Structure formats: C-alpha cells, structure tokens
C-alpha cells in the first residue's frame, strides 16, 4: 500500500496505543478529542490531496527505492526539481489547511539522515545507511507519517550536554546492549508527534568527544514503551470544546505540539542511524536545519495566502475595499509573501547532489529564507489586523450571536455592508484572529520566529556560509588593491 487514503490514515492512528497527557489527564482517545482532532485533520489532508488527480504531480512521485508511486512527504530528493516541487507542495498544503500539516519535519529528517548516514559509513565503516534505507522503504511502502525530533530541553544553555547537572536535559544513551541501545531524555516542541506512526530522533547540536553518548540518531514507533507525550497549550484551545465553530476561526484544521519524554526506551540495532560518532552530529543538524528552513518558504507562504485572502474579504465586508491605503496594504502583504516563496524556490533551484545521491538545498539561501520568515509574517499579520479592525478581538461569542435575546442585537449592530451577513463578517474576522493571535498562531506567527531554529541560529549559518573573505577579494580586485 504505497498511498493511503485519509480515512485509512486516521484508522491507523486510532489503532495505536500512545501515552498522551493533556490538562493533567491521560487522553485515551486522541483521534476523536475535539481539541486534538483538527491537527489530525491537517495531516489527513496530506493523504486526501495525494488521491486527487489534479495534485498528483505535486503530492506524489515515483520512488527510486520501491519503484512505486509514493507520497512526496516520504520521498528522497533526487533533483533540484524535486526540491522545488517540495516547496510548491507545502504552499498548496498551507492553502488547503491554513494550519501546520506536520509531515514536513519527517520529510526533512529523511533527507538529512539519508546523506549523513552515507557519509558516516564511509568514514567509520558502519551500517547506518543500510539501516536507514530499510526504515525508509518501510515508511514509503506503508505511507507513514514520521515525526522528526531534534530539539532537546537543553537545561543550562551555557553548558555542553555532558556538563549538565541533569544528564537528561539532552537525550542520551544510558546503556549499550548486544541487540540495541537504551535511551533517556526528552524532545521539546514536537510538532505532530501524536499524529505520527514513527519518530526519527536526531541530535540537537554539534558535539565534541565528551558528548559521545549524546550523539545518537534512531527511529522508533511513537507508541513504543517508555514514550510519553504532554500536549502543549495553545491560545484559545478550549474554544474547540464549546461546539461553536465560528469562534475557533478554523473549525476543521489545526496544529499540535508536545513535550515528548523517552524514559529508558529500547532501540534495536537495525533502527540506529548514529551511535557515538559525535563529529557527524553537527553535520546532521546543519543539513536538517537547512531542509527545514527551506520548508518555511512553502508552508508559511500557503498559510499567508489564506491570511491575505481573509484580510481582503474583511475589507470587502467592512466596505473599505476601495480605500487606497487598504489596497496598498494588501499589495505589501502579497509582496512580502511572494518574497518568502522566492527564497524557498531559490534555495531549491541552487541545490546540489550529495555524495549519497540525494539533493541538498543551498544552505546560505535556505537560512536567508528562514531569516525572512522570522520577520515578514509578523508584518503580514500586523497589516491583516490593521485591515480587520478592532472587532476582530472584541466581537461577542457565537453563543451570543445565536441567543434569543442577544442574537438580534449582535446581528443588527455588527452588520457591515448590507450584501454580507453579519455571520459571514464575524467568521472572517475570527479566521484572522485564529491566524494571528489564536490557535493557529503557533503554526504561523510564533512558529515563524522559532520553528527550525531561532533567528540567531540562521544568522550564525549566514555568517558561516556567506563567504565574506571572497567578497573582500572582489572589492580588492575592483579597487586595484595589492597586498
């Protein structure tokens, strides 16, 4: 089964026995939980769209590993065209969900681990690439959603992993056995892990020889014994419990994060992709971060398309669409959004093959892409809020809108242009609230800042990749400076 349907995917998650907690209580049925279900629906769309003929070229590809048509989210990039199609697919997904659709992290982990294991084997004579190819084939043949786990809690940021007072602040190996390893620690901010069948765990930073136990990468099923997930709180999340679809803004789709604890989890030998080869920890981090920073030139742009459309509708419904300053703000929003997309396409078009055969994006341009993502969505959101007006955050609830006494009052006094119902006006304002301030803010606004690494992390990479010495030589040549 190389391509699952959305319904098949949901039932596969339902069959799992994951250890999930939310609001201090264990969640026995996450699939039907009203707070968590929208995030599952977002992932479902990656399966539904892959079944549609009009999206086949973007959502699917023939695997060079299995020879079958697979979901692009499980694909290894073999050309710059693959890299660009990835970004185009992510924009489409953002347009269709206006939320985080959660499979990007696993896709980026696939490609980073693919080339890093190949390089590690060449140096150390290990069999990590063989292990990974076996896992990758399994993921492709079963169309799995695979989470990528990189970010450790880190504890005291001034100390290396081995210097932490609590060794568990970075996930590490606690026991080496003949049949595998035992690991302990946690991974924070785990996007979509409760909606995944498997998780690829990777180191969080470059490491030295003293950190050998922390230089570990592997894959395990998400319902493996010892894994516990604690759902992250999002603004306005309990609105989903009220049964009022208008107040959620985006009633069908959403995202989810979790703190994921690995309490003495066993990893069999054939699922290990790095085990003490500390010099490759930084390589894996750099490649994964580059792929994931490329991703933001697609997914955030797609969500931005929805936000721009919502702002334009709000202007229509308010009767302000002909004002010159409104038109100019919408133009600026589009300019910023397309600039992000251009960066995502550019770092893809400038990609190159690795020794393993898969393609890596241009790391400098990928980091420039993500650096812009830490800024432009904030301005897009600000302009959307400006156009929407204060009613976006002061409108009464849907229950007031439906109530016998208050309903007629709300409908009368919150009417915009006569041709648009008050309900539709409020719905579009709630969508803007959702994207800029509410439950999708972690998938658009705040995630634009911290997802795929902090802004400073990108600036460090830009400094490393920017080749300032070469630029100095160019200036000297033009100025006829000889030293």
Within this chain, do residues 157 and 16 fall inside the same structural domain, yes or no?
yes
- Whether residue 202 contacts residue 148, with contact meaning beta carbons closer than 8 Å, is answered with yes
Examine residue 434 and state whether it is found in any structural domain, yes or no: yes
Within this chain, do residues 153 and 171 fall inside the same structural domain, yes or no?
yes
N- to C-terminal Cα separation, the chain:
65
> What stretch of H or E contains 118?
helix 104-124
Examine residue 482 and state whether it is found in any structural domain, yes or no: no
Beta strand pairing call for 180-187 and 258-268: antiparallel
The predicted pLDDT at position 446 comes to: 83
Burial (0-12, 13-18, 19+ Cβ within 10 Å), 240: buried
For tokens 């993500």, what's the residue?
370
Within this chain, do residues 86 and 208 fall inside the same structural domain, yes or no?
yes
CATH value at residue 89? 2.40.110.10
Is position 100 annotated as part of the catalytic site? yes
Question: Which is catalytic among the residues 292, 359, 374, 436?
Answer: 292
Question: Which is catalytic among the residues 46, 47, 80, 104?
Answer: 104
Examine residue 172 and state whether it is found in any structural domain, yes or no: yes
Within this chain, do residues 260 and 382 fall inside the same structural domain, yes or no?
no
Is position 422 annotated as part of the catalytic site? no
- Whether residue 239 contacts residue 309, with contact meaning beta carbons closer than 8 Å, is answered with no
The predicted pLDDT at position 1 comes to: 65
Examine residue 287 and state whether it is found in any structural domain, yes or no: yes
Is position 191 annotated as part of the catalytic site? yes
Please work out, in degrees rounded to the nearest 5, the angle formed at the alpha carbon of residue 278 by the alpha carbons of 273 and 282.
85
Among 243, 278, 313, residue at a domain's last position: 278
Question: Which is catalytic among the residues 77, 129, 257, 374?
Answer: 257
Within this chain, do residues 182 and 271 fall inside the same structural domain, yes or no?
yes
Is position 292 annotated as part of the catalytic site? yes
Among 238, 256, 278, residue at a domain's last position: 278
Is position 369 annotated as part of the catalytic site? no
Within this chain, do residues 258 and 381 fall inside the same structural domain, yes or no?
no
Within this chain, do residues 221 and 153 fall inside the same structural domain, yes or no?
yes
Distance from CA of residue 442 to its chain's centroid? 10
Within this chain, do residues 320 and 225 fall inside the same structural domain, yes or no?
no
Q: Which range marks the domain in which residue 47 is found?
A: 6-278
Report helix, strand and coil shares of the chain as percent, to nearest 5: 55, 15, 30
Distances from the Cα of 300 to the Cαs of 19, 150, 230, 336, 435, in angstroms? Answer: 30, 20, 25, 11, 11
Examine residue 475 and state whether it is found in any structural domain, yes or no: no
Examine residue 473 and state whether it is found in any structural domain, yes or no: no
Question: Which is catalytic among the residues 46, 191, 204, 439?
Answer: 191
Within this chain, do residues 335 and 413 fall inside the same structural domain, yes or no?
yes
Question: Which is catalytic among the residues 9, 47, 75, 100?
Answer: 100
DSSP letter, residue 381: H
Within this chain, do residues 238 and 310 fall inside the same structural domain, yes or no?
no
Q: What is the pTM of this model?
A: 0.97
Beta strand pairing call for 146-149 and 198-201: parallel
CATH value at residue 380? 1.20.140.10
- Whether residue 191 contacts residue 145, with contact meaning beta carbons closer than 8 Å, is answered with no
Question: Which is catalytic among the residues 277, 385, 433, 447?
Answer: 447
Within this chain, do residues 351 and 331 fall inside the same structural domain, yes or no?
yes
Examine residue 295 and state whether it is found in any structural domain, yes or no: yes
Question: Which is catalytic among the residues 47, 296, 317, 359?
Answer: 296
| Count of structural domains within the chain | 2
Examine residue 479 and state whether it is found in any structural domain, yes or no: no
Is position 296 annotated as part of the catalytic site? yes
Among 260, 278, 296, residue at a domain's last position: 278
- Whether residue 291 contacts residue 120, with contact meaning beta carbons closer than 8 Å, is answered with no
**416-453: pLDDT as tens digits:** 999 999 999 999 999 999 999 877 767 798 889 999 99
Within this chain, do residues 163 and 295 fall inside the same structural domain, yes or no?
no
Per-residue pLDDT of the chain (483 residues; tens, 9 = 90+): 689 999 999 999 999 999 999 999 999 999 999 999 999 999 999 999 999 999 999 999 999 999 999 999 999 999 999 999 999 999 999 999 999 999 999 999 999 999 999 999 999 999 999 999 999 999 999 999 999 999 999 999 999 999 999 999 999 999 999 999 999 999 999 999 999 999 999 999 999 999 999 999 999 999 999 999 999 999 899 999 998 889 999 999 999 999 999 999 999 999 999 999 999 999 999 999 999 999 999 999 999 999 999 999 999 999 999 999 999 999 999 999 999 999 999 999 999 999 999 999 999 999 999 999 999 999 999 999 999 999 999 999 999 999 999 999 999 999 999 999 999 999 999 999 999 987 776 779 888 999 999 999 999 999 999 999 999 999 999 999 998
Question: Which is catalytic among the residues 120, 275, 299, 369?
Answer: 299
């Amino acid at each position: 089964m190389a391509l699952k349907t959305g319904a098949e995917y949901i039932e596969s998650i339902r069959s799992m026995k994951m250890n999930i907690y939310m609001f201090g209580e264990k969640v026995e049925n996450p699939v039907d939980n009203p707070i968590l279900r929208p995030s599952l629906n977002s992932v479902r769309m990656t399966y539904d769209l892959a079944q549609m003929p009009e999206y086949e070229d973007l959502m699917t590809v023939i695997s060079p590993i299995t020879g079958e048509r697979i979901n692009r989210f499980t694909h290894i990039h073999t050309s710059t065209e693959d890299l660009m199609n990835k970004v185009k697919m992510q924009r489409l997904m953002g347009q269709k969900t206006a939320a985080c659709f959660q499979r990007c992290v696993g896709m980026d982990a696939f490609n980073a681990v693919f080339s890093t294991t190949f390089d590690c084997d060449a140096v150390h004579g290990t069999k990590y690439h063989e292990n990974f190819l076996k896992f990758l084939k399994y993921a492709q043949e079963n169309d799995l959603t695979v989470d990528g786990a990189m970010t450790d809690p880190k504890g005291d940021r001034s100390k290396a992993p081995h210097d932490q007072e609590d060794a568990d602040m970075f996930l590490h190996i606690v026991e080496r056995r003949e049949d595998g390893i035992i690991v302990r620690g946690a991974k924070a901010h785990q996007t979509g892990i409760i909606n995944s069948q498997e998780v690829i765990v990777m180191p969080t930073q470059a490491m030295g020889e003293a950190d050998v136990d922390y230089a570990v990468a592997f894959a395990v099923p998400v319902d493996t014994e010892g894994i516990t997930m604690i759902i992250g709180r999002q603004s306005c999340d309990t609105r989903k419990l009220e049964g009022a679809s208008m107040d959620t803004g985006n009633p069908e789709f959403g995202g989810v994060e979790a703190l994921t604890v690995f309490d003495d989890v066993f990893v069999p030998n054939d699922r290990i992709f790095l085990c003490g080869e500390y010099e490759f920890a930084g390589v894996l981090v750099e490649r994964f971060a580059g792929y994931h920073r490329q991703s933001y030139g697609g997914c955030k742009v797609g969500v931005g398309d929805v936000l721009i459309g919502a702002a334009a509708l709000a202007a229509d419904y308010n009767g302000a669409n002909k004002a010159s300053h409104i038109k100019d703000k919408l133009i600026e929003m589009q300019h910023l959004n397309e600039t992000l997309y251009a960066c995502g396409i550019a770092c893809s078009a400038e990609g190159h093959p690795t020794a393993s055969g898969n393609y890596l994006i241009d790391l400098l341009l990928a980091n420039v892409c993500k650096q812009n993502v830490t800024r432009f969505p904030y301005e897009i959101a600000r302009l959307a809020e400006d156009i929407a007006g204060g009613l976006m955050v002061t409108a009464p609830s849907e229950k007031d809108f439906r109530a016998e006494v208050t309903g007629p009052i709300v409908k009368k006094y919150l009417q915009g242009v006569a041709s648009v119902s008050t309900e539709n006006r409020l719905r579009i304002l709630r969508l803007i609230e959702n994207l800029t301030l509410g439950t999708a803010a972690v998938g658009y606004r705040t995630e634009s800042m911290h997802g795929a690494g902090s802004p400073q992390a990108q600036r460090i990479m830009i400094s490393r990749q920017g080749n300032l010495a070469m630029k100095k030589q160019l200036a000297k040549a033009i100025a006829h400076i000889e030293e």
